[in-house]
Structure 1
Amino acid sequence: MEQSSLTGHLLVATPLLEDPNFRRAVVFVIDDSPTEGTLGVIVNRPSELSVAEVLEAWSDYASDPPVMFAGGPVGSGAGLALGMLGESAAPLGWHPLESLQVNSEVASVGTIDLDTPPEIIGDALQRLRVFAGYAGWSEGQLLAEIEEGAWYVVPAVTDDVFSLAPDELWAQVLRRQGGDLALVSTFPDDPTLN
């Protein structure tokens, strides 16, 4: 792979990826290290559980839809949050993503320390999304999956991470790429019904 880091990019599941954990998933890569592996969150899997039911103090800051997202199959009992800064300086409890030299479109997105009192950080955020769990790959594992044809790697924009229509995100991201990937976006959810 030509890029030194996938941080700030999207992994879009190809139609060949049948693993139910990642079928038609759109994963935002939070950290990608050649020696430590890759960490990301699935951004198109909203749950029916509201943020208010789990983290009441953060509910006023949660972006629409204000629900918990299923971030991935690892650590599903733990919360992870992403926030987008407005014009203000980075507040206590907001941490920028590392290695964003490739994709500045998401430079204002960072991780949120949910132990920080929301009143300290909340007003500095334009958007906030909370995830239960994450997706993780050990060193070299993701690259092997990409080479096998399981994932498309595309640049992310902030509207992907904080999409108002997460259920439509898989097709929207692919369509935006144009060419063959736009054609893939029309691939039926169940090809046997064709």
Structure 2
Amino acid sequence: MTAEQYLSGRILLAMPGMFDPRFERSVNVICVHDEHGALGIGIGHVREGVTFHEVLEELEIDPGVAPDRPVLHGGPVEPGRGFILHSTDWGGADTVEVQPLCALSASMDILRAIAEGRGPRHWLMALGYAGWGAGQLEGEMRHHGWYAAEGHREVLFETPVDARWMATWRAEGIDPALLSTETGQA
């Protein structure tokens, strides 16, 4: 694959009829995608019973001026590991640019910056991530699993969590009700 064919910075949507019920109506920001595999952060489902303030308090960080927001279910891999997807107006030593959509950080520095009111303008927190080995995501896409949408910032930072799947389809100009739930053989 060429660099243009990799999906970093795009939003991955579960197709209607997704073969894996854990990912039904899933919305993932693809943060890294290369010849070694892919890493995505789920942004379409809230992690029940966990808020941002609770995470900060568990890490012994005073929530300060940080708004208390729900934490998202980032994916099934390492569900106790936290990630912040955020606008590119903040960056730390470990920040990964997810061009053209956002940035990704997973350090205590960004948590402290948000609590102190000096963090990024836009951000969300997720626990866990979705991971694919080399060639795995491409295979799933060929077998009616995923659709790679453009990276729509308004979906990421301005759309309610439970509306992100449909909002991304709409931003792409597609009505998912018109999509087949099965693939065929040519």
TM-score range, shorter chain: 0.7 to 0.9
CA distance in structure 2 between the partners assigned to 1:94 and 1:82 by the alignment:
13
The corresponding residue for 1:113 is 106
Contact 1:175/1:185, CA 8 A, preserved across alignment: no
- Contact 1:51/1:66 (<8 A) preserved: yes
Counterpart check, 1:127 vs 2:91: no
**Aligned counterpart, 1:81:** 84
Runs of 4+ in 1 over 4 A off after TM superposition: 117-122
- The alignment covers a number of residue pairs equal to 171
SS of 2:170 mapped into structure 1: helix
TM-score in terms of structure 2 length = 0.80
Partners of 1:66 and 1:173 lie apart in 2 by 22
CA distance in 2, matches of 1:118, 1:24: 29
What letter corresponds to residue 78 of structure 2 in structure 1? Answer: G
C-alpha distance 79-174 of structure 1, shift in aligned 2 (>3 A): same
Shift of 1:77: 1.4
Deviation digits for residues 82-124 of structure 1, max 9, x if unmatched?
12133xxx543461326x3xxx3x1xx2122322264557524
Partner of 1:143: 138
SS in 2 for 1:11: strand
* Alpha-carbon distance in 2 for matches of 1:58, 1:125: 18
Offset at residue 132 of structure 1 (A) = 0.8
> What is the CA-CA distance between 1:81 and the residue it aligns to?
1.4
Q: Matched residue of 1:146: which SS?
A: helix
Residue of structure 2 in register with 1:51 after alignment: 52
SS of 1:167's equivalent in the other structure is helix
- In structure 1, the partner of 2:156 is 161
Match of 1:162, SS state, is helix
Amino acid at match of 1:123: R
- The answer to whether 1:177 aligns with 2:178 is no
Q: What is the distance in 1 between the residues matched to 2:103 and 2:149? A: 19
The change in CA–CA distance for 1:61 and 1:96 in structure 2 (over 3 A counts) is: farther
Q: Is the 8 A contact 2:28 2:43 kept in 1?
A: yes
Q: Is the contact made by 2:7 and 2:30 (CA closer than 8 Å) also made in structure 1? A: yes
Counterparts of 1:172 and 1:129, CA distance in 2: 17
The answer to whether the 8 A contact 2:41-2:75 is kept is yes
Contact 1:61 1:127 survives alignment (8 Å):
no
Cα distance change, pair 186–175 in 1 and its aligned pair in 2 (3 A): farther
Whether the aligned pair in 2 keeps the contact of 1:92 and 1:120 (CA below 8 Å) is: no
The separation in 1 between residues aligned to 2:136 and 2:155, in whole angstroms, is 24
Tell me the TM-score normalised to structure 1 length: 0.77
Distance 1:136 1:68, change over 3 A: same
Q: Could you tell me which runs of 5 or more consecutive residues in structure 1 were left unpaired when the two chains were aligned.
A: 188-194
Residue in 2 that maps onto 1:42: 42
Pairwise CA distance, 1:167 = 0.3
Percent identity, aligned pairs only?
A: 26
